[in-house]
Amino acid sequence: MITLKAFQYLAPIAPFEYVRPTNLDELLNALNEYGTKARLVAGGTDLTIALKERLVNPKVVIDLNHLRAKLSGIELTNTNLKIGAMTTYTELEQNPDVQRYARALSEAASQVGTFQIRNLGTIGANLANGSPAADTAPPLIVLSAKVTLLSKQGERKMNVEDFITGVKKTALRPYEVITGVEVPLKNNVSSYWMRTAKRNENVISVVSVAVSSEIQSRSFGESRIALGAVAPTPILASKSSLKLTGSPISEETIEEVSNLAKEESKPITDVRASAEYRRHLVYVLTKRTIKKVVSLARSS
């Protein structure tokens, strides 16, 4: 018998209680009270589908909508680019400070989903969702960003590469909320992000690569390479990052580092691509992204 997945949607979403905190205290109280029984909703692009597919069955949905003023926005300080958790992909894509200091991130944000999804989806939820293919994660990792988590016990900050711990798993505790991410400002750092997918638009990345580097006249300074969709979590490719740092800017370096990044990836075969193809893409995209970072640095 042929069963169409779409038929599942004819069944309504299971009922739940709906809580609408209007300030952070109310939110933290609600998280303390409901913990694992609750799910947070920001834009709804991930949660609503999970509810329809019955992948999650929360007793309570906590709507962050009335906290948008507090939890969204992009602020440039002397040391950081502070991005509120409820900042949308469209805001990241269009913000001049993100474009200037975190190009990899604005680039990734501009290619998530569709125009409609980018107007809804938020950076905090992209991380909280814990997908190995989360497009904002590799850029945040190469930019050494930290995610800020708030609970009644106070605030803690974590590296993005440590925050996503497994497929759909994060270090977020049930009584915590992501309030934002902080990208440290570094002089002369260029960054970029590229991906390959089955189409150009509205698609999950098959492989994504982010690179940041402090490009000097003849060599790569401090550099970081991160990979998406080729391991259970987005990963910092530490060996290739270390290799790139301090190496001369040459075809040989880029070739060697891209091969090393390929070795560091641990992809699986799934509906989107084979492991072998993904490994090859890591090599190709790392090469192209490093070259783009060099050309961006030289043209600025």
Partner 1 sequence: MRMETEGSVEITCTINSTLVHKKVLPNQTLCDFLHDEMGTTGVKKGCDTGECGACTVLLDGKPVTSCLILAPQIDGHEITTIEGLGSDKVLHPVQEAFIELDAAQCGYCIPGMIMTASALVKDRPNITEAELKRYISGNLCRCTGYQQQLQAIMVACKKMNARINK
- The answer to whether the beta carbons of residues 177 and 28 sit under 8 Å apart is yes
- According to CB under 8 A, which one of 28, 30, 142, 149 is a site residue for partner 1? 30
Closest by CA to 85, choosing from 119, 37, 121, 36, is 121
* Segment near partner 1 (CB under 8 A); pick from 21-29, 129-137, 235-243, 247-255: 21-29
Query: What phi, psi does 44 have (nearest 5°)?
Result: 105, -5
* Spatial distance between the Cα atoms of 244 and 222, rounded to a whole number of angstroms: 8
Query: What phi, psi does 59 have (nearest 5°)?
Result: -80, -30
Q: Is 17 in the site for partner 1 (CB under 8 A)?
A: yes
* Segment near partner 1 (CB under 8 A); pick from 57-65, 173-181, 185-193, 290-298: 57-65
- The answer to whether the beta carbons of residues 191 and 212 sit under 8 Å apart is yes
Which tokens go with 15? 């009922």
Q: How far is the CB of 254 from partner 1 (least distance, A)?
A: 29
Q: Is 276 in the site for partner 1 (CB under 8 A)?
A: no
Question: Is 14 or 167 the residue whose CB approaches partner 1 more closely?
Answer: 14
Residues 33 to 52 in contact with partner 1, rule: CB under 8 A = 41, 43-45, 48-49, 51-52
* Spatial distance between the Cα atoms of 23 and 66, rounded to a whole number of angstroms: 8
Q: How far is the CB of 195 from partner 1 (least distance, A)?
A: 15
Residue type, 18: Y
Binding site for partner 1 (CB under 8 A): 6, 9, 12-22, 26, 29-30, 41, 43-45, 48-49, 51-52, 61, 63, 65-66, 90, 113-117, 119-120, 200-202
